[in-house]
Amino acid sequence: MNWSKTIRERRSVRRYSSRPVAQETIDSLLNEAAHLYRAEGDGASHWRSLCYRTPEARHRLADSMIAKIKGSTLGKLLPGKMIDLIKKQATDTPAHLVFIAESGSTQRQSDENYAAVCSIMQNVQLLGWELGIGMLWYTDQILNSAAFEREIGLREGERFAGILSMGYYEKVPRARKRTPAEQKWTIVEGDVSGYADHLQVSSRSVLALLNDAVWAPNDGLREPWRFIYAGGGEAADRLRALNGDAAAAFLLVVAKEESDSHKREEDYAAVCCLIQNFQLLAASEPWPVRRTMPEWIYDPEHCKPFGVRPQERIVAVLALGGDGRDSRSTPSSKKT
């Protein structure tokens, strides 16, 4: 698979042909997508998905989706035709996959589970694109209703992650431009020559990958990400010690924190998609990437020295190059 091409060419698709998407195709997309996600955690899956493919199932899902509109003051003002149209669109879509993540006992565990399901959803979108299947990641507030939760059987300790509505596409939607990664990029402690360069994880090669990775889906095109690169000097030393990883360089992938909780969650998901893109792209590089969510990223005092701002949070620390051995037993910042 040419990941760079697929990542750049994938589009959110809202109109589908009437051709059904076979259950076997959906099953194999899910299996492959889960396999592609390299979990850093215990390797167990803390997510589940529900498939709505038959006309009856799609009707039921559509009914639960419009329940909130119907019950709302706004819904009562909407012409019946409009509600029928929303329902028809959901019912006519060949298949919907609902994704649900387990919550964890800690914030970090919950984030890990949610990041995993978001990454798998992105993999499903990319793999589907290669088969001519277009998808739309749907999280609209109208899904925030008891009727919808009842329909998907949401249990205590579970979190709805999103719906991937899908079908074969006939026309590829127009691309919506992305901001070049350079404009969302900071280098801490300027020293990128030497160790990181020698191991081919220079800022230039990381930026090249990021400029493909930014073609991640993101609601409202908010592009809620920012990148902090540490390729040498004291910052990289500190990260080696904090992460217990002898990486040559580190990339901190940061999300902007919206005050609206729905947007904040969508933005976190979008950043997870971008990170997943980066990992897929890096798999063909001569250097490895380890995606980590260490405990220290939850402590603002640890994040501040790297330039993380008050309305931001680190979503993942990507350890680039090196062999991942604990740096506390290896000489750090070695220049060859």
Ligand X SMILES: Cc1cc2nc3c(=O)[nH]c(=O)nc-3n(C[C@H](O)[C@H](O)[C@H](O)COP(=O)(O)O)c2cc1C
Binding site for ligand X (CB under 6 A): 11-12, 136-140, 162, 176, 217-219, 221, 266, 269-270, 273
CB of 54 to ligand X, least distance (A): 24
Contact by Cβ (8 Å): 86, 63: no
Closer CB to ligand X, residue 151 or residue 245?
151
Closer CB to ligand X, residue 177 or residue 328?
177
CB of 330 to ligand X, least distance (A): 38
Measure the CA–CA gap between 126 and 216, rounded to whole angstroms. Answer: 10
- CA dist 294 → 148, 182, 220, 244, 303 (Å): 34, 26, 29, 10, 11
Chain center to CA of 121:
8
Burial track 286-321 (b if 16+ CB lie within 10 A, e otherwise): ebebbbbbbeebeeeebbeebbbeeebbbbbbbbbb
CB of 260 to ligand X, least distance (A): 13
CB of 265 to ligand X, least distance (A): 8
Closer CB to ligand X, residue 239 or residue 315?
315
Structure tokens at 273: 């998609």
CB of 229 to ligand X, least distance (A): 24
CB of 177 to ligand X, least distance (A): 9
Partner residues linked to 100 by β-bridges: 48, 160
Q: Which amino acid is at 233?
A: G
Chain center to CA of 316:
11
CA atoms within 13 A on the CB side of 321: 20
Question: Packing angle between helix 203-213 and helix 261-282, nearest 10 degrees?
Answer: 120
Closer CB to ligand X, residue 191 or residue 266?
266
Q: In the structure, how many helices (H) and strands (E) does the chain have?
A: 12, 9
Closer CB to ligand X, residue 91 or residue 205?
91
Closer CB to ligand X, residue 240 or residue 313?
313
Tell me 12's DSSP state.
B
CB of 106 to ligand X, least distance (A): 23
Closer CB to ligand X, residue 196 or residue 270?
270
